[in-house]
Amino acid sequence: MKLKNVLIVVKDIEKSKQFYHDLFGLDMILDNDGNLIEVGTPI
């Protein structure tokens, strides 16, 4: 079995988006009412 995706659940979506952008440089490519897809450069 291979890991394909990770599900992260948060209370404050705006804080979460800012946190992951600041920490990993992730940018939002899809925001569908709380279901987010973010992309960034691998570390």
7-41: pLDDT as tens digits: 888 899 889 889 888 988 888 888 887 777 777 76
CB 12 within 8 A of CB 19: no
pLDDT of residue 15: 92
- Domain residue ranges in the chain: 8-38
Listing DSSP states for 17-40 in one string gives: HHHHHHHH--EEEEEETTEEEEE-
